[in-house]
Amino acid sequence: MDKNKFLNYVKDLDFSGISVTEIYNKISNAAVSMLNLKRRECRYATYISIEYLVGNVFYNNLMALGVLEQVTEILEKKGVNINIFEEIEDAALGNGGLGRLAACFLDSAAAKGYPLYGYGIRYKYGLFKQVIEKGCQTEYPDDWQKYGDPWSIKKEEESRTIHFKDYDVKAVPYDMLIIGKRINALRLFEAEGEKAKEICEYLYPPDDTEQGKLLRIRQEYFLSAATIGELIDRHISKYNNILSFSKYNCIQLNDTHPVMAIAEFIRILTSIYNIGFDDAVKAAKKSFNYTNHTIMPEALECWDYKLIEQILPDIANVLIKLHNYSQAEWNNISCQKDEMNSMAIFYDNKFSMANTAVYIASSVNGVAEIHTEIIKKQLFSAANKYYPSKFKNVTNGVTHRRWLQLCNKELSALLDDSAGKWRDNIHLLKNFIVSDNNIKEFKKIKALKKRQLADYILKRQGIKIDSESIVYCHIKRLHEYKRQLMTAFAILCIYYDIKTGKLTDFYPSTFIFGGKAAAGYFRAKGIIKYINEIADMINNDAANDKIKVVFAENYNVSYAEKIIAGSDVSLQVSTAGMEASGTGNMKLMMNGAVTAGTMDGANIEIVQKAGKQNNYIFGATVEDIEKLVGTYCPVSFLEKNPKLKYVVNTLIDGTFSDKGKGWFEEIYNSLTKTIWHRADNYFVLYDLPAYVETLLKVNEDYKQKDKFAIKAINNIANSGYFSSDRTIAEYAKDIWKIDSV
Ligand SMILES: *Cc1c(COP(=O)(O)O)cnc(C)c1O
């Protein structure tokens, strides 16, 4: 891009009487029109994902173009603070970690010059907007396109028709530009046509009814077929030989949602190109790879034969054939019956999308070392026995451009002074050493980021926090395994100890929660209400000047950027074995927060790199949990610990009210009774005492500010490994075999 031409354009803009949205669109359109789009060359990789949690694109793109500072100055001179564009809603076409990872990968690939293209769905409404009303979550539609979508280019002429048995829809691509050393694109398909509206209306429409399940299947096939159709046509028009597809293409399936792409690929090869089934499967095996993101059974999709057959008979047919084909292969290598069942593509009248992916993929990866070990030993143990070379670990990462440069320019400037060209080569962060100057400057910067966070919370929610307090944050999707409830209990334990005078020298602390609960996940919604009840009580206690609790409303990428830069302590307390990796933990580490967490997901690698002494690890390990299952009895545990019992009883003793919804009692029952699951199956009460102690230890250590800053510096210096630049380089070399061009 011709930077001067662009900056002159911005200088010449007349802002009088035009709205923020119009300014946003003018500047963005000008940048896009001046960009020189590169075409695909050679071998490239395709990332298919049902989610992309992109966030605000304006600041990020201007930064990527190297003009953010200049534009900030130009606007300042015109009396416009660049922060006004914060009111442009995030593009939230994703739920949480999985979607944000996809966005980080695209950023890193473009920055590092790898030809990687993302494919997804252009939902009309992104993840719902969360409003907290009387302490409860209410969901409102997120109409992100109402501000315009100036960074995307519609490619009407590249539309294609997608066939379902009952109707056709048109898939119209929009390319969202991904700017870096190369310009790649995130291609999002919008459905057009009489019946099309519902297909791309919502991200994850409810799937508890048959209609809902059919809609999910339609979405998944829509994305798969639009992507595969395009890749094959593009390949044929260039090389005119379908069997060389895998020489130039490589497809990464992000979790199970796009697995129907495999069946679509085989369908096209066999029915349009007249390739034999055997050769078509072999071609698929060379083209696809699969990333598993979770071992939670509800996320490992299985679709009823009759549902797929009803709207996609050819796909059902291909999957059945593939099932028979794989069974024959396993018979040949003398697999045992139970192994064959566990690997089966078709079982109990259902298609297992995960097993389909594992069978076809040349590479199956988990997203952190412990997670990869778990999928090898448990989830896919039979496949690992017969195809050990398929399984790889690629530990997740986050882009340090958004999660450090953009959200913490002050810390980035300090790193420029001490770590050289770390922005291009993240491993140079190692040079950020513990020195008197770095300690002093880091403390100043953290204090500043906390003041900025306090201002932001005040502006966004009208809540005042003490910016000199310790900021502990627990920010992520609301889920029982992530154990926000345990943090809530821990806060109560500490609060009551302060009230009764048992705890005297507690350093003032602010606990920030942030996260959305899935609309139909009642227990998670109950936990939000419970946290807000606790916040109400504690924040309104005039005698309390030690603890403040904030529930960050509508936690999204933009909010995350502020909280992450301004936090001292990163709470990562999932039940061991349950959090595949986590990426919030990495973002916080980069910004100099210490981790207080369990030995789970990437926390393990974080403390390996940054040192246990610089973080706070507690709680049951995966091995401990394995032993506890079956013997752990939370009720007798509570009986032995009156303080815990007192705190847990606040769910039912009238201390707090859920306004007759029955949520709190249900949560209480989930902890103490065997219902449809074992009592306290996330081991909240088991880990709680150690958690409280850990939080108090952090609190105590924080008083020695220099020592605490040293821990933070060690975390930052060792966070380079967790940049998605490293992750993407591993995928490129070990899985995709693509070069930076
Ligand atoms: C990073 C991120 C997540 C993932 O957080 P985890 O702690 O890894 O679960 C979720 N939502 C947003 C907005 C994020 O930025």
- Secondary structure of 490-545 in HEC code, one letter for each residue: HHHHHHHHHHCCCCCCCCCEEEEEECCCCCCCHHHHHHHHHHHHHHHHHHCCCCCC
User: What is the pLDDT at residue 281?
Assistant: 98
Task: Please name the amino acid found at residue 178.
Answer: I
182 lines ligand 1 (CB under 6 A): no
Q: What is the pLDDT of residues 511-534, one digit of tens each?
A: 999 999 999 999 999 999 999 999
Residue 31's CB is within 10 A of a number of other CB atoms, namely 23
Residue identifier of the C-alpha nearest atom 6 of ligand 1 = 584
97 lines ligand 1 (CB under 6 A): yes
Q: What are phi and psi of 680, to 5 degrees?
A: 50, 55
Q: How far is CA 517 from CA 294, 295, 450, in A?
A: 18, 19, 26
Task: Please name the amino acid found at residue 175.
Answer: D
Q: What is the pLDDT of residues 469-499, one digit of tens each?
A: 999 999 999 999 999 999 999 999 999 999 9
What mean pLDDT is predicted for residues 395-412? 98
Between the CA of 41 and the centroid of ligand 1 the distance, in Å, is: 33
Question: Residue 465 and residue 488: Cα distance in Å, rounded?
Answer: 18
pLDDT for 17 beyond 70: yes
Question: Residue 118 and residue 254: Cα distance in Å, rounded?
Answer: 10
Q: What is the pLDDT of residues 304-346, one digit of tens each?
A: 999 999 999 999 999 999 999 999 999 999 999 999 999 999 9
582 lines ligand 1 (CB under 6 A): yes
User: How does DSSP assign 34-73, residue by residue?
Assistant: H--PPPP-SSEEEEE-S-EEEE--HHHHHHHTT-HHHHHH
Question: Residue 345 and residue 343: Cα distance in Å, rounded?
Answer: 7
Burial 445-482, CB ≥16 within 10 A → b, else e: bbebbbebbbebbeeebebebebebbbbbbbbbbbbbb
C-alpha torsion angle, residues 121, 124, 126, 131 (rounded to 10):
-170
Residue 212's CB is within 10 A of a number of other CB atoms, namely 13
584 lines ligand 1 (CB under 6 A): yes
User: What is the pLDDT at residue 197?
Assistant: 86
514 lines ligand 1 (CB under 6 A): no
Are residues 53 and 94 in contact, defined by beta-carbon separation less than 8 angstroms?
Answer: yes
User: What is the pLDDT at residue 142?
Assistant: 94
User: What is the pLDDT at residue 38?
Assistant: 67
When pLDDT is cut at 50, 70 and 90, the band that residue 548 belongs to is very high
CA angle 365, 367, 371 (to 5 degrees): 90
Place of tokens 């919370």: 457
Among 610, 536, 622, 541, residue whose Cα is nearest residue 577? 622
User: What is the pLDDT at residue 193?
Assistant: 87
Task: Pick the atom of ligand 1 nearest to 585's CA.
Answer: 7
Residue identifier of the C-alpha nearest atom 15 of ligand 1 = 557
What's the distance, CA 221 to chain centroid? 23
Between the CA of 13 and the centroid of ligand 1 the distance, in Å, is: 37
Q: What is the pLDDT of residues 147-192, one digit of tens each?
A: 999 999 999 999 999 999 999 999 999 999 999 999 999 999 999 9
557 lines ligand 1 (CB under 6 A): yes
Task: Pick the atom of ligand 1 nearest to 55's CA.
Answer: 13
Q: How far is CA 416 from CA 136, 222, 411, 423, 708, in A?
A: 44, 46, 9, 8, 22
User: How does DSSP assign 396-436, residue by residue?
Assistant: --B-HIIIIIIT-HHHHHHHHHHHSSTTT-GGGGGG----H
Between the CA of 614 and the centroid of ligand 1 the distance, in Å, is: 23
What's the distance, CA 296 to chain centroid? 15
Segment holding 286, helix H or strand E: helix 277-287
What mean pLDDT is predicted for residues 47-74? 96
Task: Pick the atom of ligand 1 nearest to 572's CA.
Answer: 7
Q: Domains of the chain, with CATH numbers?
A: 35-55+90-396+728-736 (3.40.50.2000), 417-722 (3.40.50.2000)
**SS3 assignment, position 465:** coil
Q: How far is CA 358 from CA 256, 335, 355, 362, 390, in A?
A: 10, 16, 5, 8, 8
What's the distance, CA 622 to chain centroid? 23
The mean pLDDT of the chain is 96
Among 315, 221, 295, 343, residue whose Cα is nearest residue 625? 295
**SS3 assignment, position 387:** coil
pTM (two decimals): 0.98
Among 92, 101, 67, residue whose Cα is nearest residue 82? 67
What mean pLDDT is predicted for residues 215-219? 97
Are residues 364 and 356 in contact, defined by beta-carbon separation less than 8 angstroms?
Answer: no
What's the distance, CA 267 to chain centroid? 32
> Ligand 1, from 52, 475, 571, 591: best to mutate by most atoms within 8 Å of Cβ?
475
Segment holding 303, helix H or strand E: strand 302-304
Place of tokens 């950020």: 432
Q: What is the pLDDT of residues 685-714, one digit of tens each?
A: 999 999 999 999 999 999 999 999 999 999
**SS3 assignment, position 475:** strand
Are residues 60 and 402 in contact, defined by beta-carbon separation less than 8 angstroms?
Answer: yes
pLDDT for 40 beyond 70: no
**Measured between alpha carbons, how far apart are the two ends of the chain, in Å?**
18
What mean pLDDT is predicted for residues 254-271? 98
| Residue 86: DSSP 8-state | G
Residue identifier of the C-alpha nearest atom 1 of ligand 1 = 584
476 lines ligand 1 (CB under 6 A): yes
Between the CA of 478 and the centroid of ligand 1 the distance, in Å, is: 11
120 lines ligand 1 (CB under 6 A): no
Task: Pick the atom of ligand 1 nearest to 583's CA.
Answer: 8
What tokens appear for 521 in the block?
Answer: 């996940």
Are residues 439 and 710 in contact, defined by beta-carbon separation less than 8 angstroms?
Answer: yes
Task: Count the residues in the chain.
Answer: 741
Between the CA of 550 and the centroid of ligand 1 the distance, in Å, is: 18
Question: Residue 382 and residue 582: Cα distance in Å, rounded?
Answer: 26
User: What is the pLDDT at residue 42?
Assistant: 85
Residues recognised as catalytic: 293, 476-477, 482, 583, 587
As a whole-number percent, the residues of the chain with pLDDT over 70 amount to: 99
What tokens appear for 370 in the block?
Answer: 């412990």
Task: Please name the amino acid found at residue 225.
Answer: A
Q: What is the pLDDT of residues 611-641, one digit of tens each?
A: 999 999 999 999 999 999 989 999 999 999 9
Question: Residue 209 and residue 191: Cα distance in Å, rounded?
Answer: 22
What tokens appear for 409 in the block?
Answer: 């320019």
Beta bridge partners of 48: 119, 253
Are residues 132 and 532 in contact, defined by beta-carbon separation less than 8 angstroms?
Answer: yes
Question: Residue 606 and residue 721: Cα distance in Å, rounded?
Answer: 9
Residue identifier of the C-alpha nearest atom 8 of ligand 1 = 582
What mean pLDDT is predicted for residues 212-216? 97
Beta bridge partners of 393: 366
CA atoms within 13 A on the CB side of 538: 29
Residue identifier of the C-alpha nearest atom 10 of ligand 1 = 96
Place of tokens 């020592």: 707
pLDDT for 16 beyond 80: yes
Task: Pick the atom of ligand 1 nearest to 515's CA.
Answer: 11
Q: What is the pLDDT of residues 343-398, one digit of tens each?
A: 999 999 999 999 999 999 999 999 999 999 999 999 999 999 999 999 999 999 99
562 lines ligand 1 (CB under 6 A): no
User: How does DSSP assign 119-164, residue by residue?
Assistant: EEE--SB-SPEEEEETTEEEEE---GGGG--TTEEE-GGG-EEEE-
What mean pLDDT is predicted for residues 553-578? 98
